[in-house]
Amino acid sequence: MGPAWRRTLVAGVVLLGLACMAAPARAGAGGAPVLVPRVAATLPHDPGAFTQGLFFTGGRLFETTGLRGASRIMELDPASGRVLRSRALPDAYFGEGATAVGELAVWLTWTSGRAFVLGLDDFAPRGEFSYSGQGWGLTGDGRVLYMSDGSDVLTVRDAQTFAVLGRLEVRDGDAPVELLNELEWADGEILANVWHSARVAAIDPATGRVRRWLDLGPLVPPGLGPEAVANGLAWDAGARRLYATGKLWPVLYVLDLGPAPAP
């Protein structure tokens, strides 16, 4: 992809996002409102990055990518999207979502049953956890971790030991919300990408109920193929902005979600 083509694509997507800023809220299938976030800024993003997770901590932005032989953890400049440094997983592992726990990153793998613990400052290995089943997305509220596995259930885990503490069934009305993928904690809610959907569920962590949906559909770059889905959410609590991208997307969005939602 040449630089001129990328600039044209990004500019077109920006205009599309700005055009839908005033789109009215509407009800989802389960009655939860559907909102279109406002695009505050766009940044370039590596179109070869098979994004599995984003997270923001201490003013710093991190990304993890997947595919065997291409799984990396990276620190990005939150102002420009530029990759500041990265570390690759061994080729045998398919990296998935990650989150910060203090000064450490906990990084899931898809089917290997291993979560790698790395230092945020140097990406040096600091340990690992094991788990059964698949690993998809991971986030935490400062006390516990929430982990997705592609089902409609989030596993609640101890942030220090990774032991299972409970399960959270996610429902939109009475309907299970399956294929929960990348996760992010924001304003007391769990935001979740849904695989092969452009919608993000905002989940009540106490009940598993979907309070609202964010529609990223107008922001999906055209012509990238069926696996270039929306995936990657990072909440900047200080600026109250949500970073969002997708697998193989050439753009990283900074979204304004407005005032904190009522509980």
pTM of the model: 0.88
| CATH class of residue range 3-256 | mainly beta
Low-confidence ranges of the chain (pLDDT < 70): 1-30, 259-263
pLDDT at 5: 34
pLDDT at 258: 72
The CA distance from 47 to 45, in Å, is 6
Strands 210-215 and 33-35: parallel
Looking at residue 98, its amino acid is A
pLDDT at 134: 97
Sheet arrangement for strand 138-140: 138-140, 144-147, 153-158, 164-169
pLDDT at 28: 52
pLDDT at 29: 61
Quick: pLDDT tens for 144-173: 999 999 999 999 999 999 999 999 999 999
The CA distance from 215 to 73, in Å, is 27
Question: Apex CA 106: angle with CA 100 and CA 109, to 5°?
Answer: 140
Quick: pLDDT tens for 190-233: 999 999 999 999 999 999 999 999 999 999 999 898 999 999 99
Task: Give how far the C-alpha of residue 262 lies from the chain's centroid of Cα atoms, to the nearest Å.
Answer: 22
Q: For residue 177, what are its two tokens?
A: 């919300």
Report whether 49 contacts 35 (CB < 8 A): no
Report whether 96 contacts 109 (CB < 8 A): yes
